[in-house]
Amino acid sequence: MNIAPAAPISEFDQRALYEVLRSRDRRFDGRVFTGVKTTGIYCRPVCPHMPKIENCTFHLHAAAAEKAGFRPCLVCRPELAPGDAKVEAGSKLARLALRRIEDGALNEINVAALAEEFGVTDRHLHRAMR
């Protein structure tokens, strides 16, 4: 199992996120995901499975957890979490890109550079904006 290290999160934040996980707080569903190093899966905060804190890494997007080498939990289906599903990703990308364009981003950089900021190709950005 090849698990890449997650972006550093302070110990305080890890403990706070673990409390969210322990309480199964639905307000955080789709806003934070927990990668479990020992199993190689990632879960939603509402998942009934409770990993130990030392085995947890926290991610703000399902895609970030997958990029770190975790696969989706078959119980809680984190890839379908509200606000993070792939079907919503295109419209979310379009909204974020439009906000940057309205703020004058294209006065300073081109579309390819804007797409790179979002981690996509310029072709993908064009398709999301349609």
DSSP per-residue codes, 42-70: EE-TT-S----GGGEEEESSHHHHHHTT-
pLDDT tens string, the chain, 130 residues long: the values are: 444 444 456 555 878 888 888 888 888 888 889 999 999 999 988 999 889 989 999 988 888 888 999 999 999 998 888 765 555 666 778 888 889 999 998 899 999 998 888 888 888 888 888 8
Query: Model's pTM, two decimal places?
Result: 0.57
End-to-end CA distance of the chain: 39
Q: What residues contact residue 83 under an 8 Å CB cut-off, 6+ apart? A: 30, 31, 92
Domains and CATH numbers, the chain: 11-78 (3.40.10.10), 86-129 (no CATH)
